[in-house]
Amino acid sequence: MRSFDPILLVEDDLLDIMTLKRGLRDISANNPLHVRSDGESALDFLRDPNNPVPALILLDLNMPRMNGLEFLKILKSDPDWCKIPVVILTTSQEEQDRLASFELSAAGYIVKPLEYPAFVEKLQILYQYWRLSEIPSFAS
């Protein structure tokens, strides 16, 4: 992933959105960040040809209208989107959520730490990994 590749955050909690934005700023990640509050609005974003195809999707699980697992199932069944890496970023420590996420081809599962320094540390590692990873071009 290059520094100009877009990231899509699918998250409904405003505090978590602000924390992630602050964390990206603190680790000097300057990628464009697009935020949608649930799976339905994230699908609308992806369907709009005027929007960029994200190089990475950060996905919460517990959201209104369409939750993260429902979104992931639709995303991974679409030939145009199935290769976009999705990392689950959630408070859920439930084994069934982890299992379901990986069964639906999630690229990773991260439990959000409560303390900001621990969150930034995990975000830094995640970002460094995706910066090193050779991701194919998803532009249609």
Query: What are the tens digits of pLDDT across the range 20-64?
Result: 999 999 999 999 999 999 999 999 999 999 999 999 999 999 998
**Is residue 79 in a domain?**
yes
pLDDT for the residue numbered 133:
82
Residue 42 lies in a domain: yes
pLDDT score at 38: 95
Beta pairing class for 33-36 and 7-10: parallel
* Structure confidence by residue, pLDDT tens digits, 81-135: 999 999 999 999 999 999 999 999 999 999 999 999 999 999 999 999 988 887 6
Distant-in-sequence, close-in-space partners of 8: CB < 8 Å, separation ≥ 6? 34, 35, 36, 42, 45, 46, 54, 56, 57, 58
pLDDT of residue 138: 56
Asked if residue 56 belongs to a domain, the reply is yes
Q: Flag whether 45 is in a domain.
A: yes
For 46, the domain range is 7-132
What are 51's two structure tokens? 């929007």
Amino acid type, 47: R
Question: What does the pLDDT read at residue 104?
Answer: 96
- 1, part of any domain: no
3-state secondary structure of 7: strand
Q: Strand ranges (DSSP E) for 16-138?
A: 33-36, 56-59, 86-90, 108-111
| pLDDT of 132 | 86
Q: Domain for residue 2, yes or no? A: no
- Classify residue 119: in a domain, yes or no: yes
pLDDT band at 140, cuts 50/70/90? very low
Are 31 and 58 a contacting pair, CB within 8 Å? no
Structural domain includes residue 111: yes
- Distance separating alpha carbons of residues 27 and 123, to the nearest angstrom: 8
Centre a 10 Å sphere on the Cβ of residue 117 and count the other Cβ atoms it contains. 9
- Domain of residue 50, CATH code: 3.40.50.2300
DSSP 27: T
Number of domains in the chain: 1
